[in-house]
Amino acid sequence: MRAVIQRVKNSWVLIDNREVARIGYGLTILLGVLKGDSAEDVERLARKIVHLRIFPNEMGKFGRSLLDVKGEALVVSQFTLAAETRRGHRPDFTAAMQPPQARTLYNSFVERLAQFVPVQTGHFGALMEVGIINDGPVTIILDSRE
C-alpha cells in the first residue's frame, strides 16, 4: 500500500458538486492499494500513520502524532499511486490491485484507522474533488513494504 499523507487544517471531498466528507485538523490520506497487499499492509500502514510524529510540539518541532493532537483523518482512494513511470510518457497502472479486492483492503484500512481516530472518506472509485488546506505544508509518502 502506498499513501501520501498531508497535514491539514481542514480537508473535504466533493462528488458532483456535493460535499460528502469534511475534516478539521488532522491528515488527508491518499491511499493506493497494490497487487500483493494484504491485511498485514493494512495494519502496518494504519499504525505507522497514527503514530507518525509530524505535528508540532510546544517547541514547534515534529513531536506529536495524530493521536496526540486528537486529529481527524480523511481517506481518499487513489489508484494512481500505483503508477509506473520509468518508461515512456504514459503512466502504467498494472501494479494497482483490481478494484473488487482493492475496495476490500481500502475498507479494512478505513476500519482499522477508525479504531484510533475519527475518519471520513471519499467514495471508492468515484471521480472526486479533494480540497486541502495544507498545514506547513507537510506532505509525507509512505509505503507499507518499506
Q: Residue 132 half-sphere exposure, CB side, CA atoms within 13 Å?
A: 22
Sorted by sequence, the CB contacts under 8 Å of residue 50 that are 6+ apart come out as 65, 66, 67, 113, 116, 117
Which residues are designated catalytic?
78-80
Band (145; pLDDT cuts 50, 70, 90): confident
Taking only the tens place, the pLDDT of each residue in 81-139 is 999 999 889 999 999 999 999 999 999 999 999 999 999 999 999 999 999 999 999 99
Band (146; pLDDT cuts 50, 70, 90): confident
CATH topology of domain 2-143: D-tyrosyl-trna(Tyr) Deacylase; Chain: A; (3.50.80)
* Cell numbers linked to 52: 507518525
Taking only the tens place, the pLDDT of each residue in 21-74 is 999 999 999 999 999 999 999 999 999 999 999 999 999 999 999 999 999 999
Q: Domain map of the chain by residue range?
A: 2-143
Sorted by sequence, the CB contacts under 8 Å of residue 57 that are 6+ apart come out as 63, 64
> Do the Cβ atoms of 63 and 53 come closer than 8 Å?
yes
Q: Is the backbone of residue 100 left (phi > 0), alpha (psi -120 to 50) or beta?
A: alpha
Q: What is this structure's pTM?
A: 0.95
